[in-house]
Amino acid sequence: MRGGARPRPCPGARLKTINPPRALVTGGAGFLGSHLCQALLGDGYHVIAADNLLTGRLENIAHLRNDARFEFVEKDVCQPAEWGPLAYVFHFASPASPVDYAKHGIETLRVGSYGTFEAIEAARRSGAKFLMASTSECYGDPLVHPQPETYWGNVNPIGPRSVYDEAKRFSEAVTAAYRRYHNLDTRILRIFNTYGPRMQIRDGRVIPNFMWQALRGEDLTVYGDGGQTRSFCYVTDEVDGILRLARSDEHAPVNMGNPAEFTILECAKKILAVTGSRSQIVFEPLPQDDPRQRRPDISKARRLLGWEPKIDLETGLKLSLDYFRKAVHEASNPAA
């Protein structure tokens, strides 16, 4: 092994004893980030949520702001910052819906490169643990099904999804390199489709889109023939898995998602049933590079973390319904 590649202890490791331990969550005002902040507060952390509100929203964290252990910093995490002593850095900042990252492609590439370096350097300076929010998109349009962590993927490096897919793959490479060269205590989490309260109603993802359409009596727009599959994980299951991975010693990537697989047409029908809507289903063109199938192999998470999702799609949709009803009402009546 060459000298530069030898793992070295982290210089700031002693700072971890600060009480309560301080966690930085980049993207802390986003859908998943805000649920994570809440769970970390419940776990006894002092939480700093950093977000530039490009796709995150202050409403997502409004209920946390009276907690003295919660801080919100409006900030582009691509810019250098001094955060003080940290025990954990969770790097969740990024547009995450295909519509959002198509709209903000350059910002997505920046936060998944410059932003990742800033976040991981903040962890290194403090001797903090670092957890990188990666994605099932690392597998692209997968040729192996279901997808185990050992699969390297089938990604178009220049297509419309590449701004997200390659930024996340690059971030995984950065994280693995800091583990290798700096002996940083890292985790890589591959998040599969997750849904629940606080999703943006208009971010274009399939569940909010169908909810919006069903609750307004509009046609449900199924792209392609609706035969493409996804596996949907309810947000509380996902966050439970994230905390388990955060507490574990696993440095290699871990898939986290619900292995129950549905076609998009089945998903549309479930949403019609749960909402009681009489909307029709219509078919529209399939976006370029839309993955044909996606289902996590979660045997590693089961074995290492004792984790598996508990909430099935129908239950999760019912649990989300009040939120979506309110979000649709507010977005449809902006003055109300």
Out of 230, 270, 295, 300, name the contact with ligand UDP by CB under 6 A. Answer: 230
Among 45, 164, 178, 234, the active-site one is 164
Q: Is 193 a residue that touches ligand UDP (CB under 6 A)?
A: yes
* Cα distances (Å, whole numbers) of residue 216 to 97, 151, 203, 206, 326: 22, 41, 16, 15, 12
Is 151 a binder of ligand UDP (CB under 6 A)? Answer: no
Binding status of residue 205 toward ligand UDP by CB under 6 A? yes
- Per-residue contact string for residues 274-303; x = within reach of ligand UDP by CB under 6 A: ------------xx--x-------------
164: annotated active-site residue: yes
Per CB under 6 A, does 206 bind ligand UDP?
yes
Tokens (6 digits) for 326: 């309110």
Nearer to ligand UDP, 243 or 286 (CB): 286
**Measured from the CB atom, is 221 or 299 closer to ligand UDP?**
221
Please tell me the count of residues contacting ligand UDP according to CB under 6 A. Answer: 16
Instruction: Output 105 or 287, the one with its CB closest to ligand UDP.
Output: 287
Q: Is residue 221 involved in binding ligand UDP (CB under 6 A)?
A: yes
Give the one residue of 209, 255, 258, 293 binding ligand UDP; rule: CB under 6 A: 209
Among 117, 151, 223, 323, binds ligand UDP (CB under 6 A): 223
CB of 294 to ligand UDP, least distance (A): 6
Question: Minimum CB separation from ligand UDP for residue 266, in Å?
Answer: 11
Select 200 or 228, whichever has its Cβ closest to ligand UDP.
Answer: 228
189 scored as a contact of ligand UDP (CB under 6 A):
no
Question: Between residue 95 and residue 124, which ones bind ligand UDP under the rule CB under 6 A?
Answer: 97-98
Active site residues: 164
Q: Which chain residues interact with ligand UDP by CB under 6 A?
A: 97-98, 193, 204-206, 209, 221-223, 228, 230, 264, 286-287, 290
